[in-house]
Copies of this chain bind each other. A is one copy, B any other.
Amino acid sequence: MATVNDILACIHTFAPEYTKEDWDHVGLNCGHGDRHVRKILVALDPFMDVCKEAKETGADLIVTHHALIWTPGFVTDQDEQGRCTLFLIENHIACINAHTNLDCAPGGVNDILAAQLGLENITVIDPKGADAHGKPFGLLRSGTVPAQPLSAFLAHVKKQLACPGLRYVDGGKPVRMVAVGGGACAGEMDKAAAAGCDTFVTADVKYNQFWQAKELGLNLIDAGHFFTENPVCQYLARQLRSAFPDITVEISRCHTDCAKFF
């Protein structure tokens, strides 16, 4: 039967550690690498609701995009990170994360997001290198859509990602070539513009970044951190099911964005 370490090794075949950002830490966050796994729960974050869902559904392992331990330190009930870590360890549930390696790797977060939005002619913007198969990897993706007004594309994004709302700035151009960067990638908007994109879909956009996009003449769409990254969970589950047919792989049913629009 496959172990936690086997599953980590599998994840590193499609999201290799060398594709991650230098500052990031990924891999086994808590638990025993040599324990056997019967059931995996996949989720964007290992928040407490997800941890409890893992216990209730009998999962031995959580595989997430964001890390369980973000600020290393003591492991106590004094903070939420500690409470989640205690809960998982006490319930014999391991946790693996694939963060910026999964963002950057071919087929990862941003390729999934591009596909979800129906982009065509998808390429990596400003690649950081090539993987073992010679495929370029890097943070952002660009691709084309049939020329359309921004309002039509906004409706398309909202529907495809099932967002409760969008925030955006109108760069004054119709939508033809779109860059995507799931999560907080607005700091990369210069690269999107330099790659010839008229539109950039990302999340966690700040006031001055909306204005910066307007100055650049770039349509900038904040579709939400959760909604731009969560599609990767389907991909993760497919990969794991395919590699480990004897293991049950489920996607979290409870996890969604906690923020709402009014």
Q: Across the A-B interface, give the 7 residue pairs with the lowest CB-CB distance, nearest first.
A: A207-B225, A72-B72, A166-B262, A210-B259, A89-B89, A80-B215, A32-B77
A66 to B207, CA, bound (A): 12
**Which listed residue (B31, B167, B258) contacts A210, Cβ 8 A?**
B258
If A203-B207, A206-B204, A259-B210 touch, whether A69 touches B77 (CB-CB below 8 Å) is: no
- Chain B residues closer than 8 Å to A222, beta-carbon distance: 259
Q: Which chain B residue shows the least CB distance to A69?
A: B74
Interface segment among A22-30, A54-62, A110-118: the answer is A22-30
Cβ of A86 within 8 Å of any chain B Cβ, yes or no, is yes
Residue contact A47 to B211, C-beta cutoff 8 Å = yes
Residue contact B206 to A167, C-beta cutoff 8 Å = no
- Chain B residues closer than 8 Å to A69, beta-carbon distance: 73-75
Residue contact B203 to A170, C-beta cutoff 8 Å = no
Residues of A134-176 whose CB lies within 8 A of B: 151, 154-155, 158, 165-170
- Chain B residues closer than 8 Å to A211, beta-carbon distance: 45, 47, 258
Residue contact B169 to A28, C-beta cutoff 8 Å = no
A212 to B47, CA, bound (A): 10
Q: Which chain B residue shows the least CB distance to A76?
A: B28
A116 to B48, CA, bound (A): 37
- Chain B residues closer than 8 Å to A34, beta-carbon distance: 77
Residue contact A28 to B78, C-beta cutoff 8 Å = yes
- Chain B residues closer than 8 Å to A262, beta-carbon distance: 151, 154-155, 158, 165-168
Residue contact A32 to B260, C-beta cutoff 8 Å = no
Residues of A217-262 whose CB lies within 8 A of B: 222, 224-226, 257-262
**Which listed residue (B28, B215, B226, B260) contacts A74, Cβ 8 A?**
B28
Residue contact B76 to A170, C-beta cutoff 8 Å = no
**Which listed residue (B31, B90, B169) contacts A92, Cβ 8 A?**
B90
Cβ of A195 within 8 Å of any chain B Cβ, yes or no, is no
Residue contact A261 to B167, C-beta cutoff 8 Å = yes
Residue contact A85 to B76, C-beta cutoff 8 Å = no
Best-buried of A48, A204, A222 by chain B (most CB within 10 Å):
A204
Best-buried of A32, A33, A78, A167 by chain B (most CB within 10 Å):
A167
Q: Which chain B residue shows the least CB distance to A48?
A: B215
Nearest-neighbour CB distance to chain B for A27, whole angstroms, equals 7
